Protein backbone atom coordinates (compact mmCIF):
# COMPACT_ATOMS: atom_id res chain seq x y z
CA UNK A 1 0.00 0.00 0.00
CA UNK A 2 1.11 3.53 -0.74
CA UNK A 3 1.34 5.88 2.25
CA UNK A 4 -1.84 7.77 3.12
CA UNK A 5 -0.48 11.09 1.83
CA UNK A 6 0.05 9.49 -1.61
CA UNK A 7 -3.36 7.81 -1.62
CA UNK A 8 -5.04 11.14 -0.84
CA UNK A 9 -3.36 12.68 -3.88
CA UNK A 10 -4.50 9.99 -6.26
CA UNK A 11 -8.26 10.02 -5.55
CA UNK A 12 -10.85 9.36 -2.86
CA UNK A 13 -9.69 7.04 -0.09
CA UNK A 14 -12.31 4.71 1.37
CA UNK A 15 -12.20 4.23 5.12
CA UNK A 16 -14.42 2.23 7.47
CA UNK A 17 -16.24 3.06 10.67
CA UNK A 18 -18.92 2.35 13.18
CA UNK A 19 -17.05 -0.31 15.16
CA UNK A 20 -18.25 0.36 18.70
CA UNK A 21 -21.97 0.62 18.02
CA UNK A 22 -21.92 -2.34 15.63
CA UNK A 23 -20.08 -4.45 18.23
CA UNK A 24 -22.47 -3.19 20.91
CA UNK A 25 -25.35 -4.45 18.78
CA UNK A 26 -23.58 -7.80 18.42
CA UNK A 27 -23.22 -8.04 22.19
CA UNK A 28 -19.52 -7.36 22.69
CA UNK A 29 -19.35 -3.69 23.77
CA UNK A 30 -20.92 -2.08 26.83
CA UNK A 31 -22.90 1.09 26.07
CA UNK A 32 -23.06 1.98 29.74
CA UNK A 33 -26.83 1.92 29.50
CA UNK A 34 -28.44 0.33 32.54
CA UNK A 35 -25.42 0.88 34.77
CA UNK A 36 -25.31 4.65 34.51
CA UNK A 37 -27.09 7.63 33.02
CA UNK A 38 -25.21 8.38 29.84
CA UNK A 39 -24.35 12.01 29.27
CA UNK A 40 -24.47 13.14 32.91
CA UNK A 41 -20.71 13.47 33.06
CA UNK A 42 -20.70 11.37 36.23
CA UNK A 43 -20.43 7.86 34.87
CA UNK A 44 -17.81 6.36 32.59
CA UNK A 45 -19.86 6.96 29.45
CA UNK A 46 -18.49 3.49 28.53
CA UNK A 47 -18.30 2.54 24.79
CA UNK A 48 -14.69 1.59 25.54
CA UNK A 49 -12.64 -0.84 23.37
CA UNK A 50 -11.90 -3.73 25.78
CA UNK A 51 -13.39 -6.05 23.14
CA UNK A 52 -9.86 -6.03 21.66
CA UNK A 53 -8.68 -8.26 24.52
CA UNK A 54 -11.95 -9.85 25.66
CA UNK A 55 -13.49 -10.89 22.32
CA UNK A 56 -10.82 -10.43 19.65
CA UNK A 57 -12.57 -12.78 17.21
CA UNK A 58 -15.61 -10.49 17.07
CA UNK A 59 -13.43 -7.52 16.17
CA UNK A 60 -11.36 -9.52 13.69
CA UNK A 61 -14.55 -10.51 11.88
CA UNK A 62 -15.79 -6.90 11.67
CA UNK A 63 -12.41 -5.80 10.28
CA UNK A 64 -12.73 -8.51 7.63
CA UNK A 65 -16.21 -7.32 6.71
CA UNK A 66 -15.00 -3.75 6.17
CA UNK A 67 -12.02 -4.96 4.16
CA UNK A 68 -14.30 -7.05 1.94
CA UNK A 69 -16.57 -4.01 1.48
CA UNK A 70 -13.63 -2.13 -0.02
CA UNK A 71 -12.09 -0.22 2.89
CA UNK A 72 -8.55 0.87 2.05
CA UNK A 73 -7.96 1.91 5.64
CA UNK A 74 -8.84 -0.11 8.73
CA UNK A 75 -9.06 1.84 11.95
CA UNK A 76 -7.56 0.01 14.90
CA UNK A 77 -10.23 0.00 17.59
CA UNK A 78 -8.40 2.39 19.88
CA UNK A 79 -11.24 4.91 20.11
CA UNK A 80 -11.73 5.97 23.77
CA UNK A 81 -8.47 4.18 24.46
CA UNK A 82 -6.69 6.77 26.60
CA UNK A 83 -5.78 5.72 30.13
CA UNK A 84 -8.16 8.39 31.45
CA UNK A 85 -11.23 7.04 29.67
CA UNK A 86 -10.33 3.39 30.18
CA UNK A 87 -9.78 3.99 33.92
CA UNK A 88 -13.32 5.30 34.30
CA UNK A 89 -14.61 2.08 32.76
CA UNK A 90 -12.35 -0.08 34.97
CA UNK A 91 -9.74 -0.91 32.35
CA UNK A 92 -7.01 1.63 33.12
CA UNK A 93 -4.43 -1.03 33.97
CA UNK A 94 -5.02 -2.62 30.54
CA UNK A 95 -4.44 0.56 28.53
CA UNK A 96 -1.30 -0.65 26.82
CA UNK A 97 -2.61 -4.17 26.24
CA UNK A 98 -5.91 -2.94 24.73
CA UNK A 99 -4.19 -0.51 22.35
CA UNK A 100 -1.51 -2.97 21.27
CA UNK A 101 -4.05 -5.73 20.69
CA UNK A 102 -6.23 -3.39 18.61
CA UNK A 103 -3.40 -2.50 16.24
CA UNK A 104 -2.17 -6.08 16.00
CA UNK A 105 -5.65 -7.34 15.03
CA UNK A 106 -6.19 -4.63 12.43
CA UNK A 107 -2.77 -5.22 10.88
CA UNK A 108 -3.30 -8.96 10.81
CA UNK A 109 -6.54 -8.54 8.82
CA UNK A 110 -5.28 -5.66 6.65
CA UNK A 111 -2.16 -7.48 5.48
CA UNK A 112 -1.04 -5.62 2.36
CA UNK A 113 -4.62 -4.80 1.31
CA UNK A 114 -5.26 -1.82 3.60
CA UNK A 115 -3.48 0.73 5.75
CA UNK A 116 -4.01 0.71 9.50
CA UNK A 117 -4.86 3.94 11.28
CA UNK A 118 -4.69 4.46 15.02
CA UNK A 119 -7.85 6.16 16.27
CA UNK A 120 -7.33 8.82 18.92
CA UNK A 121 -10.29 10.61 20.43
CA UNK A 122 -11.03 13.12 23.16
CA UNK A 123 -10.27 12.17 26.76
CA UNK A 124 -13.58 13.60 28.10
CA UNK A 125 -11.54 15.59 30.65
CA UNK A 126 -12.35 18.83 28.84
CA UNK A 127 -16.08 18.16 29.02
CA UNK A 128 -15.91 17.20 32.68
CA UNK A 129 -13.35 19.61 34.07
CA UNK A 130 -12.91 22.38 31.55
CA UNK A 131 -9.89 23.91 29.87
CA UNK A 132 -7.73 23.72 33.00
CA UNK A 133 -7.43 19.98 32.36
CA UNK A 134 -5.76 20.35 28.95
CA UNK A 135 -2.31 19.64 30.41
CA UNK A 136 -3.51 16.26 31.67
CA UNK A 137 -5.27 15.61 28.37
CA UNK A 138 -1.95 16.13 26.68
CA UNK A 139 -0.26 13.55 28.92
CA UNK A 140 -2.97 10.96 28.21
CA UNK A 141 -3.12 11.58 24.46
CA UNK A 142 0.68 11.60 24.16
CA UNK A 143 0.85 8.29 26.01
CA UNK A 144 -1.70 6.68 23.68
CA UNK A 145 0.04 8.01 20.58
CA UNK A 146 3.37 6.62 21.85
CA UNK A 147 1.77 3.18 22.21
CA UNK A 148 0.23 3.41 18.73
CA UNK A 149 3.53 4.43 17.24
CA UNK A 150 5.29 1.51 18.94
CA UNK A 151 2.62 -0.76 17.45
CA UNK A 152 3.52 0.68 14.02
CA UNK A 153 0.25 2.22 12.83
CA UNK A 154 0.54 3.82 9.38
CA UNK A 155 -1.05 7.09 10.48
CA UNK A 156 -3.49 8.54 13.00
CA UNK A 157 -7.13 9.55 12.74
CA UNK A 158 -7.82 12.15 15.43
CA UNK A 159 -11.60 11.98 15.75
CA UNK A 160 -14.65 12.95 17.74
CA UNK A 161 -13.08 15.95 19.42
CA UNK A 162 -15.77 18.37 20.61
CA UNK A 163 -13.31 21.08 21.72
CA UNK A 164 -10.90 22.53 19.18
CA UNK A 165 -8.48 23.23 22.05
CA UNK A 166 -8.19 19.50 22.79
CA UNK A 167 -7.81 18.74 19.07
CA UNK A 168 -4.91 21.22 19.03
CA UNK A 169 -3.29 19.27 21.86
CA UNK A 170 -3.73 16.02 19.91
CA UNK A 171 -2.29 17.48 16.71
CA UNK A 172 0.77 18.70 18.61
CA UNK A 173 1.23 15.22 20.13
CA UNK A 174 0.94 13.64 16.66
CA UNK A 175 3.54 16.06 15.29
CA UNK A 176 5.89 15.35 18.20
CA UNK A 177 5.55 11.62 17.47
CA UNK A 178 6.18 12.23 13.77
CA UNK A 179 2.93 10.53 12.70
CA UNK A 180 0.71 11.91 9.90
CA UNK A 181 -2.77 12.75 11.18
CA UNK A 182 -6.20 13.07 9.61
CA UNK A 183 -8.10 15.46 11.91
CA UNK A 184 -11.89 15.41 12.21
CA UNK A 185 -13.94 17.46 14.65
CA UNK A 186 -17.43 16.59 15.92
CA UNK A 187 -20.12 19.18 16.40
CA UNK A 188 -22.95 19.19 18.93
CA UNK A 189 -25.64 20.10 19.57
CA UNK A 190 -25.54 22.19 16.36
CA UNK A 191 -23.14 22.16 13.42
CA UNK A 192 -22.58 25.89 13.57
CA UNK A 193 -20.00 25.83 16.38
CA UNK A 194 -17.91 23.27 18.26
CA UNK A 195 -18.02 23.07 22.05
CA UNK A 196 -15.42 25.82 22.51
CA UNK A 197 -17.34 28.10 20.19
CA UNK A 198 -15.39 27.91 16.94
CA UNK A 199 -17.01 27.65 13.53
CA UNK A 200 -16.27 24.73 11.20
CA UNK A 201 -14.19 27.07 9.02
CA UNK A 202 -12.14 28.23 12.01
CA UNK A 203 -11.59 24.62 13.05
CA UNK A 204 -10.43 23.72 9.54
CA UNK A 205 -7.95 26.58 9.49
CA UNK A 206 -6.45 25.80 12.89
CA UNK A 207 -6.15 22.06 12.12
CA UNK A 208 -4.48 22.92 8.82
CA UNK A 209 -2.02 25.27 10.50
CA UNK A 210 -1.14 22.56 13.03
CA UNK A 211 -0.02 20.12 10.35
CA UNK A 212 -2.98 17.79 9.71
CA UNK A 213 -2.79 15.94 6.37
CA UNK A 214 -6.59 16.11 5.91
CA UNK A 215 -9.29 17.89 7.90
CA UNK A 216 -13.01 17.44 8.29
CA UNK A 217 -15.73 16.05 10.54
CA UNK A 218 -16.87 12.71 11.88
CA UNK A 219 -19.74 11.23 13.89
CA UNK A 220 -22.86 12.97 15.27
CA UNK A 221 -24.43 14.05 11.95
CA UNK A 222 -26.24 12.20 9.20
CA UNK A 223 -24.67 12.59 5.75
CA UNK A 224 -26.66 15.59 4.42
CA UNK A 225 -26.01 17.68 7.51
CA UNK A 226 -22.34 16.77 7.51
CA UNK A 227 -22.03 17.86 3.89
CA UNK A 228 -23.11 21.37 4.72
CA UNK A 229 -20.51 21.74 7.43
CA UNK A 230 -17.77 20.34 5.18
CA UNK A 231 -18.65 22.88 2.53
CA UNK A 232 -18.01 25.55 5.15
CA UNK A 233 -14.62 24.04 5.93
CA UNK A 234 -13.64 23.94 2.28
CA UNK A 235 -13.26 27.71 2.06
CA UNK A 236 -10.74 27.71 4.91
CA UNK A 237 -8.24 25.07 3.82
CA UNK A 238 -6.38 23.71 0.80
CA UNK A 239 -5.99 20.29 2.42
CA UNK A 240 -8.00 17.22 1.41
CA UNK A 241 -11.32 17.04 3.28
CA UNK A 242 -12.34 14.02 5.34
CA UNK A 243 -15.90 12.95 6.20
CA UNK A 244 -17.07 10.10 8.39
CA UNK A 245 -20.79 10.73 9.04
CA UNK A 246 -22.99 8.77 11.42
CA UNK A 247 -25.85 6.66 10.08
CA UNK A 248 -28.38 8.25 12.41
CA UNK A 249 -30.87 10.92 11.48
CA UNK A 250 -30.72 14.19 13.37
CA UNK A 251 -33.26 17.00 13.57
CA UNK A 252 -33.36 20.69 12.75
CA UNK A 253 -33.22 21.59 16.43
CA UNK A 254 -30.61 18.98 17.41
CA UNK A 255 -27.89 18.19 14.88
CA UNK A 256 -26.20 15.48 16.95
CA UNK A 257 -27.52 11.98 17.52
CA UNK A 258 -25.88 11.53 20.94
CA UNK A 259 -28.04 14.38 22.22
CA UNK A 260 -31.26 12.81 20.97
CA UNK A 261 -33.40 10.69 23.35
CA UNK A 262 -32.83 7.67 21.09
CA UNK A 263 -29.19 7.47 22.28
CA UNK A 264 -28.10 4.85 23.19
CA UNK A 265 -30.96 2.35 23.45
CA UNK A 266 -33.35 3.30 20.63
CA UNK A 267 -30.92 4.09 17.85
CA UNK A 268 -32.71 1.71 15.49
CA UNK A 269 -35.58 4.22 15.39
CA UNK A 270 -33.34 6.89 13.79
CA UNK A 271 -31.24 4.65 11.53
CA UNK A 272 -30.42 6.15 8.14
CA UNK A 273 -30.60 3.79 5.16
CA UNK A 274 -27.52 2.64 3.29
CA UNK A 275 -28.92 4.28 0.15
CA UNK A 276 -28.32 7.63 1.81
CA UNK A 277 -24.67 6.66 2.11
CA UNK A 278 -24.54 5.80 -1.58
CA UNK A 279 -26.05 9.20 -2.39
CA UNK A 280 -23.63 10.87 0.00
CA UNK A 281 -20.72 9.07 -1.67
CA UNK A 282 -21.84 10.33 -5.05
CA UNK A 283 -22.09 13.97 -3.95
CA UNK A 284 -18.97 13.89 -1.77
CA UNK A 285 -16.98 12.21 -4.55
CA UNK A 286 -18.14 14.79 -7.08
CA UNK A 287 -17.24 17.59 -4.68
CA UNK A 288 -13.74 16.24 -4.21
CA UNK A 289 -13.96 15.07 -0.60
CA UNK A 290 -10.93 12.81 -0.40
CA UNK A 291 -11.30 10.68 2.72
CA UNK A 292 -14.68 8.98 3.02
CA UNK A 293 -15.78 6.59 5.72
CA UNK A 294 -18.53 6.05 8.21
CA UNK A 295 -19.03 6.32 11.95
CA UNK A 296 -21.65 5.24 14.47
CA UNK A 297 -24.49 3.26 12.92
CA UNK A 298 -22.49 2.08 9.91
CA UNK A 299 -21.46 -1.44 9.09
CA UNK A 300 -19.94 -3.02 6.00
CA UNK A 301 -23.15 -2.60 3.96
CA UNK A 302 -22.92 1.16 4.43
CA UNK A 303 -19.27 1.26 3.41
CA UNK A 304 -20.06 -0.80 0.32
CA UNK A 305 -22.85 1.65 -0.58
CA UNK A 306 -20.53 4.59 0.03
CA UNK A 307 -17.92 3.04 -2.26
CA UNK A 308 -20.51 2.48 -4.99
CA UNK A 309 -21.68 6.10 -4.81
CA UNK A 310 -18.24 7.59 -4.78
CA UNK A 311 -16.85 5.39 -7.57
CA UNK A 312 -19.89 6.25 -9.67
CA UNK A 313 -19.07 9.93 -9.22
CA UNK A 314 -15.49 9.48 -10.36
CA UNK A 315 -16.14 7.58 -13.55
| d(C-alpha 75, C-alpha 155), whole Å | 10
Nearer to Zn ion, 194 or 219 (CB): 219
Q: What share of the chain is helix, strand, coil (3-state, %, to 5)?
A: 50, 15, 40
Nearer to Zn ion, 52 or 138 (CB): 52
Task: Assess contact for 19 and 77: CB atoms under 8 A.
Answer: yes
| d(C-alpha 236, C-alpha 203), whole Å | 9
Q: What are phi and psi of 223, to 5 degrees?
A: -55, -45
Footprint of Zn ion on 214-233 (CB under 5 A): 219
Nearer to Zn ion, 91 or 248 (CB): 248
State the DSSP code for 182.
E
Footprint of Zn ion on 274-303 (CB under 5 A): 295-296
User: Contact letters (x/-) for Zn ion, 240-279, by CB under 5 A?
Assistant: ----------------------------------------
Nearer to Zn ion, 57 or 265 (CB): 265
- For residue 87, CA distances in Å to 3, 24, 54, 147 come to 34, 20, 16, 16
Contacts with 301 (C-beta within 8 Å, 6 or more apart), sequence order: 69, 274
Nearer to Zn ion, 212 or 219 (CB): 219
Nearer to Zn ion, 73 or 296 (CB): 296
State the DSSP code for 7.
H
Footprint of Zn ion on 72-91 (CB under 5 A): none
Closest separation in Å from C-beta 315 to Zn ion: 30
- For residue 99, is the peptide bond before it cis, meaning its omega torsion is within 30 degrees of 0? no
Closest separation in Å from C-beta 291 to Zn ion: 15
H-helix or E-strand spanning residue 215: strand 214-218
| d(C-alpha 87, C-alpha 85), whole Å | 5
Residues that bind Zn ion (CB under 5 A): 219, 295-296
Amino acid sequence: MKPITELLKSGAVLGDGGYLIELERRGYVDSGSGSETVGTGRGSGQFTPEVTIENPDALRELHREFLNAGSEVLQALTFFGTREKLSRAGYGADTERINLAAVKLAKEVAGDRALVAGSVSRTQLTEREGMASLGRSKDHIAEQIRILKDAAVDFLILETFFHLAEMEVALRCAAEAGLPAVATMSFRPLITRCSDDRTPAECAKVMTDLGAIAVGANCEQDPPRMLSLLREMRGATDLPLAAQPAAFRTSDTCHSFTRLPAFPDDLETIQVSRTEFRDFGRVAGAEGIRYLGGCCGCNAAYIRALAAGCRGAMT
